[in-house]
Structure formats: C-alpha cells, structure tokens
Structure 1
Amino acid sequence: MIKIAVCDDDGNMIQELKNKICDYMNKTSYNADILSFSSAEDLLKYDESFDIIFLDIQMSSLTGMEAAKRLRQSGSESFIIFVTILKEYVYDAFSVEAADYLLKPLNSQRFQSTMDRIIHYVLEKKTAVLTIQKGSWCQSVHFADILYCEAINRKIFVHTKQEIIDYYFRINELEKQLAPDFFCCHRSYLVNLHAVIGYENGQAKLVNGENIPVSRLRRQEFIEAMLIYMKKGDR
C-alpha cells in the first residue's frame, strides 16, 4: 500500500489530484491510500508518515514551502511533489529535496511521467534490504532505516533509526552491498546519503542530529555526491 497526501487550500484542486492519482493507480494496478488536507497546518499535525506528498506552495496561512522545511526538519522522508502556479519557486524546491515540481494547470503526460519515476523509487525504498548474519541468527534491515555504518576492528556497527546492530564483516564488502546510495566518507564510515542534511568542519550532519567524520581526502567527492543526491530529490 502506497500512502499519499494531497495538501491544497483549493478543494477543486484536491479533487482533480485525487482523480488523477486514482486513474494512475487503476491503470498500473498499484494500491494507494489517499488522504487530503486543506491546510499545511493540518498536514503537519497528522501523526503518520506518507510515501508521497502533493503540496501546494501558495496557501492562505502557512506556505507549502515552509511546511516542507518543517517536514524535513522533523525527519520526514516523504517524496514531496510541489503543485503550483508559481514558476519562481522551482529553485527553492531543491532546498527541501523536492522530488518534482508540477505547474498548474496539470499536464496529464507530465503527471504520469512523474508518478512513474516516484513510484519506482517508493517501491525500491520499500524492498531494498541488508541481510545481517551472526552465526545462526539473521536479520533484514531496510536500507532506508540505516543512517550509517561504522567499522571498528573487525566488526561493523550498523546505526539504524531504531537500534545499533553489530556483526563481523568487512566494510569494503559492505560498501558493494549498499551502493549506490551510501558513500564511504571515511575509511571507517559508510553514510546513507539520504540521511545527510549538510556538511560542516569536516563532519557530515545527519537528520538525527549526529555528526560523523569525513576524511580530508574524500571531502570534495563527498560534497559533490551529497549535492547531486539532494538535487535528484530521491526521497
């Protein structure tokens, strides 16, 4: 089930988007749960997360751009698609890692191509897992749940959103398993680019408030990889 939010202060626009989403889902045989919100405040109050959020930028109270910033600050990993009449905000969309930017009135072909791309990422995110084995014990961890991996002596410590899992493995072999969304920013660290929100003073800043070291030799390559990943909006 794909969870989708539609947030717009225009009821007609909400209905048009819901119709287009339903038509797309019927054609592709995917299942979706669609919730609508008439204000950004109502969206932010909702406790559960969404896979995709369609978000108007210009709303009467809190703007969609400000709502997107707050969502990212709270750790939201939703794919945000702005739907607006305002072309001038397209570059600001990069700052909140928007997945796309659709102009009103909606173009059906453009809408479908956007959905094709984003649904692909959503399904990939839901299915990509790392299998960790310790003797007879085995556990699968979704890539999206991993913040970073740390190598200490012969052990790997996988730092997830919920816990830290350690097991015996080599970091160079782990890097192959986690490519391409993870970057070896230090000989002892693999970081999920999706969890990175910035870089400062030789440290990668993560969504959970932690900082991890970036080696001097890999600094420029890391910054380039981080910026490319953010501009892709692959969230």
Structure 2
Amino acid sequence: MVYKIGICDDQVVEQRYLQSLVEKWAKSENHQVEIEVYASAESFLFREETLTLDLLLLDIEMGAMDGVSLAKHLRQAQQELPIIFISGYSDYLADGYDVSALHYLLKPVNPEKLFEVLNRGIKQVALEEQVLLFESSGTTHSVRIKNIRYIEVQSNYVTVHANESIRMKRPLKEIEELLDASFFRIQRSYIVQLNWIKKITRKEVILNDETKLPLARGKYEALNQQMIRYL
C-alpha cells in the first residue's frame, strides 16, 4: 500500500525537514509514501476536493489562515483525515483536542517521536478499512470497526452501537474475541472503542458523542494503561 502524506507549512526549511523525516520513516518501516507539500492553508484548500491523503502534518502558525482554522474547516466538512499538529508553542494544545488531532508535536520535531506518531496514524488508516460482520434477525450487517462506539449486553442480547444499533442474541464474550486492542471492557456489560473516548473519570467513561458509560471499580488504571499502549 502507498500512503499519501501531506505536509502543510509556510516555511521552506521546515517543509524540507519534515519531508526528509517522513522519507526516513518510510524507509525504516518499509512503507511506500507519496508526499504532497503545501505552502499555506489556502493552497491546501485550493486542492481540497481532489485530495486523497492518509495523514496530514499541519503547521499551526501560518499566514492569513492558521492550521487550527484549517483543521476546523476539515472537521466541519466531515473529513476524518488524521492530523498531526506541528507548532513552536504549546499554547494550542486545547485546539488539538477540539479537532480530534492525532497528536501535537513541538518544534524542533524529534524524529523518534514523529516516527511513533506516524506509526499510530498508519494504524488508524488500517482501522478505517476493517469491517466486522454481524448477523441479526436473518440479516448480515457489515460494520466498519472505526464506527463502533461501544458494545453493550442486556440479558441475552448484545447491541453494537455504530452508525446504527445492531441487536443480536449472542454472548458478549464471542463478540469480544473478534475485537483487537483498540477495544476495552470497561464493565461487565460494556466494551468501548478507545478511539471514541473523550474523557475518563473514576466512575465513568465519556465518549466523543457525550455518551456516558459506567466504569467498573478497579478498571480506571487498566483503562488508562491500555490508552497509553494503544494510542
């Protein structure tokens, strides 16, 4: 597979540095990449409709339109493109959370840290393509893993909450065996996908869509450790 990676930065020196790092990462991981470079947010938007990027390295401090504004535009347009923010300051961390950025890297970019984040991004791209098949009432449903927010069990029935809710009579343990490390069982009746988690407290897990689910006693530390390992 060829991964298409965009670099949007208004400084030529930074463009070349990031491009060299991406090429070095691709060589070390035996990946093929196509790199697109944009000198401003405006030049990126000019080609937006024809872009098919897998990842975007986005500088925050640019000209008339900054990186945060561009990221917000992409999210409003329902584009789920993984974004890695690049900045010389830590002041914009909150903005990164607001647009669900994959990560926030400070300049000068550390090569090893960037490589780690790029590997995470590739995992996310792979997740985009994966599907699970569920049979309910004689109908087989194909569900993208990335769209599964959480799975719950009530009595003998399991409900998969994705773009639609699919209810089936099947043991939760059978469903759990189909899932990878991006899922975590937060309580006897609930399994959550880590990518959908917005906030964790001692008593509950809050998802990006503001759904609140109970967190079992003793699961708080384990969930945080799983988040660190996976994300």
Tell me the TM-score normalized by structure 2: 0.67
Which residue number corresponds to residue 155 of structure 2? Answer: 153
Partner of 2:40: 38
- What residue number does 2:15 align with? 14
* 2:40–2:62 contact (8 Å) kept in structure 1: no
Amino acid at match of 1:194: N
Deviation at 1:154, TM superposition (A): 2.0
Q: Which amino acid aligns with 1:221?
A: K
Per the alignment, residue 51 of structure 1 pairs with 54
Structure-2 residue corresponding to 1:214: 214
- Once the two structures are TM-superposed, the CA of residue 174 in structure 1 deviates from its matched residue by 1.8
Tell me the distance in 2 between the aligned counterparts of 1:200 and 1:63. 33
Aligned AA for 1:158? Answer: V
SS at match of 2:146: helix
- Partner of 2:206 in structure 1? 205
Partners of 1:142 and 1:5 lie apart in 2 by 25
In structure 2, C-alpha distance between the alignment counterparts of 1:201 and 1:12, rounded to whole Å: 45
Point out where structure 1 has 5 or more consecutive residues left out of the alignment: none
Alpha-carbon contact 1:100-1:233 (below 8 Å) kept: no
The farther-off stretch of 59-68 and 192-201 is: 59-68
Cα pair distance change 1:116/1:6, threshold 3 Å:
closer
The match for 1:80 is 83
CA deviation map 1:129-153 (0-9, x unaligned): 3231347643432221111112233
Measured in 2, the distance between the counterparts of 1:200 and 1:176 equals 26
Residue in 2 that maps onto 1:138: 140
Deviations 1:113-170 (A, max 9, x none): 347623541454244432313476434322211111122332222111x222222211
Contact 2:157-2:171 within 8 A present in 1 as well: yes
Q: Are the aligned partners of 2:4 and 2:36 in contact in 1 as well (CA < 8 Å)?
A: yes
What amino acid sits opposite 1:225 in the alignment?
L
Q: Is the 8 A contact 2:85 2:96 kept in 1?
A: no
SS in 1 for 2:32: coil
**Structure 1 residues 136, 164: CA separation in 2 closer, same or farther (over 3 Å shift)?**
closer
Identity value in percent: 22
| Structure 2 counterpart of 1:101 | 105
Structure 2 portions without partners, runs of 5+: none
TM-score (norm 1): 0.66
Determine helix, strand or coil for the equivalent of 1:151. strand
Equivalent-residue separation in structure 2 for 1:112 and 1:124 (angstroms):
18
Counterpart contact for 2:84–2:101, Cα < 8 Å: no
**Does the aligned pair in 1 maintain the 2:38–2:44 contact within 8 Å?**
no
Aligned length: 225
Alignment partners' CA distance in 2, 1:18 and 1:149: 40
Cα displacement (A) at 1:89: 6.0
- Structure 1 residue 187 and structure 2 residue 185: aligned? no
CA contact (8 A) 1:10 1:38 kept: no
- The answer to which structure, 1 or 2, has the higher relative contact order (CA under 8 A, 6+ apart) is 1
The RMSD of aligned alpha carbons is 4.4
Q: Which moved more, 1:91-100 or 1:166-175?
A: 91-100
CA contact (8 A) 2:6 2:37 kept: yes
Alignment partners' CA distance in 2, 1:200 and 1:139: 33
Q: Given that residues 199 and 223 in structure 1 are in contact (C-alpha distance below 8 angstroms), is that contact kept between their aligned partners in structure 2? A: no
AA of the residue aligned to 2:83: I
Aligned equivalents of 2:223, 2:180: Cα separation in 1: 12
Could you say what secondary structure the match of 1:125 adopts? helix
